[in-house]
Amino acid sequence: MMRGERVSRPTPVDFIEGIGGFLLDVLGVWSFEMRNVFGQTVTMEACVIDGCSNEFLVGVDFLEHHKASIDFKSK
């Protein structure tokens, strides 16, 4: 699933506030499958934001739910 698939359900919000206070429209919800460094498939749903075409932000709640951690000290 290279670009994901659109999920047929309402978005949780209509817009988000960008840096600087301007509003960005939420276009819809997509489902993505990704493979982690251990070869496991992780499926997630994400809101797609108008104007954000090449960025992907994973929240702390998602990381905690999947027992993931970020090690800023080692590379």
Instruction: Show the 3-state SS of the chain.
Output: CCCCEEECCCCCCCEEECCCCCEEEEEEEEEEEEECCCCCEEEEEEEEECCCCCCCCCCHHHHHHCCCCCCCCCC
Q: Give the tens place of pLDDT for each residue, 9-34.
A: 899 999 998 888 999 999 999 998 88
* Identity of residue 55: E
Q: Give me the phi and psi of 64, to 5 degrees please.
A: -65, -40
In tens, the pLDDT along 30-72 reads 998 888 888 988 888 888 899 887 777 777 888 888 788 788 8
> What's the pTM value of the predicted model, to 2 decimals?
0.65
Q: Band of the pLDDT at 1, cuts 50, 70, 90?
A: very low
What is the spatial distance between Cα 5 and Cα 32, in angstroms, rounded to a whole number? 7
- Domain residue ranges in the chain: 5-65
